[in-house]
Amino acid sequence: MSVIRLMTCDTAVEAYLIKGRLKNEGIETFITNENFSNLMPHYTRILNSGIQIMISDADYAEASKILELNIKQELICPECQSTNIKFSLGKNKIKKIFVILISLFISIPFNNLKTVYKCQDCKAEF
Ligand SMILES: [Zn+2]
């Protein structure tokens, strides 16, 4: 048995609501990274941060079913059903790279840049 991450939430309220819902079903979870995310909310979703709900791997499938999470890990293009997907910065790539460089230079974190997945076969972004 090992502990794995069930999901990442943006707020503590959301995380505790999910924790309570799972507890009602008899599934024990715990929340981690809460203090950091409350103190540094602008880092949420950057570098895999955010309030994380941790769960035993034995309970993962049942919890996913209760929360109706999509546990399928493979990305599929909505246009052509291809699995040849790559991570991309989307439009205004040069502007986003410039923002990242400036934020590194002045040591202030950049806001969450919207990233997209790009299908390598039909070039659709989603
Ligand atoms: Zn496609």
Interval between CA 78 and ligand 1 midpoint (Å) = 7
Q: What is the pLDDT of residue 27?
A: 93
pLDDT digits (tens, 9 = 90+) for 7-56: 888 888 999 999 999 999 999 999 998 888 888 777 766 666 788 999 99
Are the CB atoms for 125 and 116 separated by under 8 Å? yes
Q: Which domains does the chain have, with CATH numbers?
A: 3-67 (3.30.70), 74-126 (no CATH)
Interval between CA 96 and ligand 1 midpoint (Å) = 24
Interval between CA 122 and ligand 1 midpoint (Å) = 4
Interval between CA 111 and ligand 1 midpoint (Å) = 29
Task: Identify the CA nearest to 6 among candidates 70, 77, 79.
Answer: 70
- Chain centroid offset of residue 49 CA: 8
Compare 118 and 41 and report the one with higher pLDDT.
118
